[in-house]
């Protein structure tokens, strides 16, 4: 009862920090950075000795790769055996962890595995793992990704399905329905794949080699107002849209900002990674620093430096919520 209620309450809270790591697999240390104080959770050093903020980790220095679920508070981990044994396939596996929509007293999350096609097919075989069952179950229908490569490292769970955005680039024939970038959704319950179009302005000139687009959650998945946020970085300009109508693929642009107008420390910054947290902060990295930009409210378009960035190459920013909470006098003190 306590765990189920804790998960429900956690879904309503904002993310408080983010992981920083190199985009390519390597043995570099993964860094955890808190958001600016006014955006953080304000958690004190006296906290409960448990945590529902589970992390799916991949050990890249192993062949084949090893996956495990980690609990940062208890410093414990649970190994996950993948449903494949071929080392080449294992290296290309797409694995993600996601919270279940319907909680019970046994399971509050599942692990999803997509197997990379070995031929020209665009269908990815899908298997799911629930902690209670402990076995991988194959879905009857795989994930149809269309003609483009998908960004599996940034799934968005919204409206009961999981979403992925395709890459950009001009390698698709112009007459193809997959010529322009798109979002493809996958329904875990019935295995159906559905294409979701981007706005016309987002698709314009999107096959440019200097164009990069990503999607993120806008709001909390437990809230009726949750949606999908689209960020496009083309040359030196950020544009951000929010999906307003799911059925008609209607988007609303919420921001357009050039990097040279941000007042950054670098005169000609190279953006090496970006993400959106809590539907209100655009977090982005340059070769030297990490910044945040407000997307809503009083902090709209307000730029603030978070920390230095010692990863000079392209990085991955993964938002995280530390669900550790103060419990009053006599609490166990854990390191931040």
Of 53-57, 133-137, 178-182, the one with minimum mean pLDDT is: 53-57
Residue 93 has pLDDT above 70, yes or no: no
Instruction: Please report the pLDDT score of residue 4 as a whole number.
Output: 60
Q: Rounded mean pLDDT of 187-204?
A: 91
pLDDT at 204: 87
pLDDT given at position 50 = 38
Lowest mean pLDDT among 103-112, 157-166, 321-330: 321-330
Whole-angstrom distance, CA of residue 186 vs CA of residue 195: 9
CA 124 to each of CA 113, 127, 276: distance values in angstroms, whole numbers, following the listed order = 9, 10, 27
User: Residue 20: is it exposed, middle or buried by C-beta count within 10 angstroms (0-12/13-18/19+)?
Assistant: buried
How much is the pLDDT for 272? 93
Identify the pLDDT of residue 87.
47
Tokens of 90: 């294992």
Q: What is the pLDDT of residues 20-37, one digit of tens each?
A: 888 776 667 788 888 875
- Write out the two tokens for 217: 């959650």
Is the pLDDT at 171 greater than 90? The verdict is no
Identify the CATH assignment for 17-333 out of 1.20.120, 2.40.50, 2.120.10, 3.40.50.
2.120.10
154 has pLDDT over 50 = yes
Cα–Cα distances (Å) from 333 to 13, 268, 328, in that order, read: 22, 44, 11
Listed ranges 77-86, 121-130, 185-194, 214-223; the one with the highest mean pLDDT: 185-194
Write down the pLDDT at residue 223: 62
For 198, phi then psi, to 5°, come to -85, 165
3-class SS string, the chain = CHHHHHHHHHHCCCCCEEEEEECCCCCCCCEEEECCHHHCCCCCCECCCCCCCCEEEEECCCCCCEEEEEECCCCEEEEECCCCCCHHHHHCCEEEEEECCCCCCCCCEEEEEEECCCCCCCEEEEEEECCCCCCEEECCCCEECCCCCECCCCCEEECCEEEEEECCCCCCCCCCCCCCCCEEEECCCCCCEEEECCCHHHHCCCCCCCEEEEEEEECCCCCCCCEEEEEEEECCEEEEEEEEECCCCEEEEEEEEEHHHCCCCCCCCCCCEEEEECCCEEEEECCCEEEEEECCHHHECCEEEEEECCCCCCEEEEEECCCCCCCCCCCCECCC
User: At residue 103, does pLDDT exceed 50?
Assistant: no
How far is residue 271's CA from residue 259's CA, in Å, rounded to a whole number?
9
283-296 residue pLDDT tens: 999 999 999 999 99
75 and 130 in contact (C-beta within 8 Å)? Answer: no
237 pLDDT band, cuts 50/70/90, is very high
* Average pLDDT of every residue of the chain: 78
Q: What average pLDDT score do residues 274-286 get?
A: 92
What whole-number distance in Å separates Cα of residue 336 and Cα of residue 43? 9
User: What pLDDT band is residue 305 in, cutting at 50, 70 and 90?
Assistant: very high
- Based on the number of CB atoms within 10 Å of its own CB, is 215 exposed (0-12), middle (13-18) or buried (19 or more)? buried
Any idea where the domains of the chain sit in the sequence?
Answer: 17-333
- At residue 89, the pLDDT reads 46
Whose CA is closest to 181, among 171, 167, 194, 195? Answer: 167
Q: 332: pLDDT confidence band, cut at 50, 70 and 90? A: very low
- Count of all residues that appear for the chain in the document: 336
């Amino acid at each position: 009862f306590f765990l189920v209620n804790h998960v429900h309450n956690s879904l309503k809270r904002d993310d408080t920090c983010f992981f920083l790591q190199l985009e390519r697999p390597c043995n570099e240390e993964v860094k955890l950075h808190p958001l600016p104080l006014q955006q953080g959770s304000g958690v004190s050093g006296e906290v409960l000795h448990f945590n529902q903020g589970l992390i799916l980790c991949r050990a890249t220095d192993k062949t084949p790769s090893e996956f495990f679920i980690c609990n940062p508070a208890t410093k414990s981990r649970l190994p996950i055996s993948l449903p494949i044994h071929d080392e080449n396939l294992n290296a290309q596996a797409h694995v993600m962890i996601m919270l279940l929509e319907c909680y019970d007293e046994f399971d509050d999350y599942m692990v999803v595995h997509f197997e990379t096609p070995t031929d020209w097919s665009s269908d990815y075989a899908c298997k799911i793992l629930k902690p209670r069952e402990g076995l991988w179950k194959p879905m009857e229908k795989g994930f149809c990704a269309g003609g483009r490569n998908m960004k599996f490292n940034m799934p968005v769970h919204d409206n009961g399905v999981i979403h992925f955005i395709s890459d950009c680039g001009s390698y698709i024939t112009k007459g193809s329905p997959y010529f322009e970038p798109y979002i493809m959704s996958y329904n875990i319950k019935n295995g159906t794949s559905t294409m979701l179009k981007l706005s016309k302005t987002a698709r314009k000139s999107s096959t440019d080699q200097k164009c990069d687009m990503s999607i993120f959650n806008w709001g909390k998945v437990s809230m009726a107002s949750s949606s999908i946020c689209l960020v496009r970085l083309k040359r030196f300009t950020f544009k951000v849209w929010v999906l307003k109508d799911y059925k008609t693929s209607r988007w609303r642009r919420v921001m357009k900002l050039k990097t040279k107008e941000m007042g950054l420390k670098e005169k000609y910054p190279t953006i090496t990674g970006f993400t959106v947290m809590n539907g209100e902060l655009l977090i982005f990295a340059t070769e030297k620093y990490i910044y945040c930009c407000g997307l809503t409210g009083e902090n709209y378009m307000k730029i603030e430096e978070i920390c230095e960035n010692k990863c000079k190459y392209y990085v991955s920013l993964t938002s995280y919520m530390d669900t550790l909470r103060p419990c009053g006098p006599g609490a166990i003190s854990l390191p931040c």
